[in-house]
Structure 1
Amino acid sequence: MNKDPERGSRSEQFRMAIAAFIEARRELKLKGKEDDVDAVSKYDYGTWLADAVRRVGQIQAVTHVLKATHPDARGSSLHVAPDRLPPHAEIGSHLLGEDFAEDVVGNAAALDVFKFLKVEIDGRRLLDWMHAGDSDLGRALHPDPAIASAWMEAFGSLVRSDPVPVSHGSAKQIYWLVGDQPEDDAHYHLLQPLFSSSLAHAVHADIQDARFGETNKLARQAFRAREAHDADYRDYRNLVARKLGGTKPQNISQLNSERGGINYLLASLPPTWDVERPRKLLKLESAMDRLAYIRGMRHRVGDLADFLLANPPNNDATRTRRRRMEQELGGQLALFAAETRARFEPGWTRDPDCLLAECEQLWLDPGRAEEDEDFKAAYHRGDWPDEVAGRFANWLNAQLHEAGLATVGDAEHAHWARQAIIEAAWPVPTRRSAPEGATA
């Protein structure tokens, strides 16, 4: 007889939480099949728990996943809590402390059992209460103490290790020299590096928060606007996303499935956090002043000037050659714009030292339109390519005039402008920045 009413209510609390989980699974799995008596009966309280006990042996809680190195590997994965690892100065799993994500490997069809064991009561998971042998949880599982104890032991076995860890031919292995005679095989240890899923999950969460979190988004906007902000601005650059498991990431592990198979790789090179500022384009009234410094531009302008100074005959061959030279100049103009956009953070034209005309800012910094509504409206008005073209034409005519072509005038100006309009408007990201309803 239970003389403590509080313990009876606590046991009922466990039971209600378990029943709620089972009911949620029933609604999820039997939507539209409520009349299937056999299917519905599988979600009776005792029936589902007994089946979960049977299936829990098909999965294993781990921290280091073997299949992440190769999907066909059939060896041992490990469960090693971070506080059991030796401390190192380098970043590793040992730094995760008590707040780490456990992963699960095994039969993907039994992953719902792990979700069940993660249900929290009074701030602890059911799995933790199982390990503690909580008597109130036992009464909630089954009225027979022997059966309840067996079930708790079975559920608690989710965290286990193979008595003798086993490797596999598909696993990555390294011969590590531990002696001083590299020609002797006995002086090597065979190491098998294991993928730390718990660490990968922590890194993934931090990167996702830096990329899409609201707090860092506001900090990023302040950084680009060169405005003060209370929070730190975090940015991970040169990332590579490695997909594990293909279309079935759950075959690797549960956490891998939660990440959609995405595992970020940081750049293996010294960081360069001091992003290059567009110093060469600041304090200039026109970016055209820098065109002569583009590799190959001065040479191409000189070739065109020499060709025109030679007074070539007015025929198809002359027009074809002149058109080709014009296209090369236009290509250099487009390359200058593309390289500028790639090198500098979007929004760099907000710098107080940026004196470029608005048309050139729209041309060279289109990414600013994503976070600046006035800039976006100016971009979509669409008159800036004509202005850029006119500036390019003026610059080129001045270059040709310096080369001795005194007759370069309005007709040539209009010709250069038409060519420059094409190059100034492409490859600006028109698809990304087009107004709603527009087509590229």
Structure 2
Amino acid sequence: MRDVILHLHGNNELMQINECHPAYLPLHYVLLFPHEYSTILRAGKLFQEFLVDAWAATEQNRLTYYKLNQGKIRAELYQNLTDIDPNDLQPNQIGQRFVLPSSFVGGPRDMFEIFQDSMAITRYNQHPDIFLTMTANPNWPEITSALLLHQKPIDRPDLIARVFELKRKCLMKEIETNRVFGNKVAHVFAIEFQKRGLPHMHALLFLKGPDKIRTCAQVDKLVCAEFPDPKDEPMLFETIKCCMVHGPCGARNPQAPCMENGKCTKRYPRAFAETTTMYQDGYPIYRRRNNGQAHIVRGKEVDNRDIVLYNAYLSKRFNCHINVEVCAGMRCVKYIHKYIYKGYDRTTMVLGLINEIQQYLDTRYVGPPEAAWRIFGYPLHAEIPTVVRLALHLPGMHRVLFNPDESLETIVSRAGQQMSTLTGFFCMLRFYGR
């Protein structure tokens, strides 16, 4: 709890202001709310704390609602309700509690449902063709030009969030209208935040049948794993050198974050390859020619073996980390989907009863850019086309929500008249069939 306790003038009473009260932030961050000159965008780390605290209070308020009201709502199958003897069990002794429902964005049920939506798109459009990741570049001119005197990009997480959302929209428009990869028929994306806080997008792109990637020539046209020529493409070369070089790691830097047991967990540096090769598992071996050229990046010598896969047009257009990989087979589909919808990184061990709300809060980390992103209401996930979920079930097996304080007879009577999306669909067909 982060409540503020006020001592009122004229009496000895104390007044408690909780974190969701309109007066909480002005009372807690008194330096950010003076009478005249606004300092909120000039507060540096205090502004970062302010954003995180504001979003944490918002999220905690929603979780508190679920915690206080979870006992009022239960769920059970309709047929199971009709089989219960009122003399044996009461409504508050049956059904399952909705501890953290799927309506809570970022919760386990929400992540599972959007994973299933993405798999439904995959079943209709076959496997995805492009796996793309995009990370914000804090040195974008749209960010640096808007900084105030003596500020660094880290001081303005609000700018980072706003600019990245605009760039993300522009990227998706480029893919859609300019057909960078061909005719796109569907896509899904999810937004995450790196350990250092920068927003990061994972996207899966599905191409139309004739444009689906099946040959090595198509791969070489769309994806590159080599340094561009610094004389012919100076801007692209600087972007690749700054944003698309892994590490360096291995013997050149044994203390790199990616190193584990003396090996890089990302399998860099990769082996040289004169040509691109397609394999059954859906992961091509990309062309990385040994042209004898090496460059100095972060004080270490690197070559084509250290390059992260990229699309030359997009990297040159957006000047940031945009990793582009081809998904040419079905075996990689489920892994890629689970990678996108894995949720926040954490490791927990639970002894006793599972408390989903506490599980969500334990080891939960919120950085300033994420707090700004969530406060602005930017999307964390989207899919095109939209997936409509039909609750498939046998007759009498639809799920029913009920209040355990009501009588069993009332619950069963009301549940018998309720419709699921499936039975409602059937009723619509009968109505228009007449």
Smaller-chain TM-score bracket: under 0.3
Higher strand share: 2
In the superposition, the TM-score normalised over structure 1's length comes to: 0.17
Q: Which has the larger radius of gyration?
A: 1
Higher helix share: 1
In the superposition, the TM-score normalised over structure 2's length comes to: 0.17
